[in-house]
Structure 1
Amino acid sequence: MPVHGEFTLRSGQVATEYFDKYLFEGDPQLIRRVAAGMQPLLPDDAEVLGGLELGGVPIAAVLGQLVNLPTVFVRKEAKEYGTRKLAEGGSVEGRHVVLVEDVITTGGAVIAGAEELRRLGARIDLVVCAIDRRPPEATGLADAGVEVRSVFTRADLDRARAAAG
């Protein structure tokens, strides 16, 4: 259920509705159900799951367990210390990586993550997400060569809320 108020999103947009994904990501049964909903969205040739920081990381970890695929954790930017890697958890070079995200509003984080992983040699053409709240006219991800497959869309959630009264 969304929270209502005034919220500034990662994209800089201001929204009156906020999907507090950490409520389902922190609940072991709900995150498992979300990950199970993503399972049939994965292509057969997926080799690695790429959880986008921060919300995509716990979902990717659970999904990786369900489908027995390795998972990398994709930072927004490489750290200046430690391994200094953008993607932690294994190599993506030459591998088909499916990105995992919690909520997509504009797709900016997905596009940035895809571009960075492609620089590392990954093949990226798909993101699976829990909630796709982009407007129908949004084309940024398609223009970036990334297909979106979601468990729920904004329209799905609106219909469910209307049905619940």
Structure 2
Amino acid sequence: MSTTPAPSLQTIGTKRARLQDIIRKRSFGRGEITLASGRKSDFYFNLKPTMLDAEGAALLAELTLDALAGERVDYVGGLEMGAVPIAGAIAQLSFMKGTPIQAFFVRKKPKEHGARLSVEGLAPGESLQGKRVVIVEDVTTTGGSAIKAVDAVRDSGADIVMVFTMVDREEGAAEAFRDAGLEFRSLYRAAEFLKD
């Protein structure tokens, strides 16, 4: 059994700085906007252009896997649409690194036809029962979307390891997750983009 050495802090720092540049260029903006939570803001993150960029997707997956190193994780997923590209990229990279983590997503509402599933991506007979799951999210404001995913996944019998977001807007999510007894981590905080 061979073990892969942990990446150096310089390597992680370089990748993190590069991803921050990509997010700033492709996914961060100023100007009044109404957020999913209904709040108004003078800045926004639309991470889809970063998540669907070849380098951006690779860096998001790699830095997320680095952040989850040492955790025993069976699945990653979250609420559609923000979690879908992230979960897919993480699953692919984890397989390529020899430590596969499966992916899924939670529908905002179950389909009204077919199997009527709220958790998608599992094969017939496959279940989240007893599995260790990380809920991933692109941007977190109050935590409401991630809590919906947590509830659906818990209903499937999974053990929630943590909620992990790419960008925490720092507008109440940490407190909401703490109150719900959930560990919460982020790759970036909004303040890192607002200081320039």
Same fold (TM over 0.5): yes
* Gap runs ≥5 in structure 1: none
**Structure 1 match to 2:73:** 46
Q: How many angstroms does 1:51 deviate by?
A: 3.2
**Structure 2 match to 1:140:** 176
Contact 2:79 2:148 in 1 (8 A): no
Matched, 1:62 2:53: no
Segments ≥4 residues shifted beyond 4 Å: none
Identity of aligned residues (%): 38
Counterpart Cα distance in 2 of 1:86 and 1:137: 23
Matched, 1:71 2:103: yes
Counterpart Cα distance in 2 of 1:26 and 1:84: 28
Q: Show CA shifts across 1:113-161 (max 9, x none).
A: 10121111111130111101123785111111221111111122234xx
Aligned residues: 160
Counterpart Cα distance in 2 of 1:54 and 1:69: 19
Equivalent of residue 48 in structure 2, options 12, 22, 29: 22
Contact 1:51 1:59 in 2 (8 A): no
Contact 1:51 1:61 in 2 (8 A): no
Equivalent of residue 118 in structure 1, options 147, 154, 159: 154
Tell me how large the CA RMSD over aligned residues is.
1.6
Q: 1:76/1:136 Cα in 2 relative to 1: closer, same or farther (>3 Å)?
A: closer
Equivalent of residue 94 in structure 1, options 117, 130, 136: 130
Contact 2:77 2:106 in 1 (8 A): yes
**Structure 2 match to 1:37:** 63
Counterpart Cα distance in 1 of 2:38 and 2:172: 19
SS in 2 for 1:139: helix
* Gap runs ≥5 in structure 2: 1-23, 95-99
Q: How many angstroms does 1:83 deviate by?
A: 1.5
Q: 1:94/1:46 Cα in 2 relative to 1: closer, same or farther (>3 Å)?
A: same
SS in 1 for 2:91: helix
* Aligned residue identity for 1:119: D
